[in-house]
Amino acid sequence: MPTYQTEAFVVHLYDYSETSKIVQFLTAQQGKLSCIAKGLKRKNNPWVYALDRLNRVEIFYTWKSTREVQTLTDVNLIDSYPELKKDIQKQVLASLILETAFSMTETEQVAFQTYNQVQEALSQLNNADIDNDMAVFLTCWHLWRILAYNGIEPQLQICIHCGKAVQHANRFSWKGGVVCQNCPSDRILEMKEIECLQTLKNLSDPLSVPVSQVKSIYNTRVLPLLCTFIIYNVGHPLKSYNVFCEIINPNQKGIEQ
Confidence class for position 257, pLDDT limits 50, 70, 90: very low
* pLDDT in the model for residue 256: 44
What is the chain's mean pLDDT, rounded? Answer: 93
Neighbours of 88 (CB within 10 A): 11
- With a cut of 90, say whether residue 66 has pLDDT above it: no
Rounded to whole angstroms, the Cα distance separating 67 from 14 reads 17
Look at 142 and 249; give whichever has higher pLDDT. 142
Report the pLDDT value the prediction gives residue 43, as an integer from 0 to 100. Answer: 85
Residue 8, φ and ψ in degrees, nearest 5: -160, 155
What pTM value is reported for the model?
A: 0.94
Beta-carbon contacts of residue 199 (< 8 Å; ≥ 6 apart) = none
| C-beta separation of 125 from 138 below 8 A | yes
Task: State what percent of residues in the chain have pLDDT above 90.
Answer: 86
Angle between helices 132-149 and 223-234 (to 10 degrees): 30
- Please give the average per-residue pLDDT across 36-58, as a whole number: 94
Contact 18, 71 (CB under 8 A): no
What is the per-residue pLDDT across 180-208, written as a single tens digit (0 to 9) for each?
999 999 999 999 999 999 999 999 999 99
Give me the mean pLDDT over the 91-106 stretch. Answer: 97
With cut-offs at 50, 70 and 90, classify the pLDDT of residue 251: low
SS percent in the chain: helix, strand, coil, step 5: 40, 20, 40
Q: Structural domains in the chain?
A: 3-79 (2.40.50.140), 83-248 (1.20.1440.120)
pLDDT for the residue 94: 98
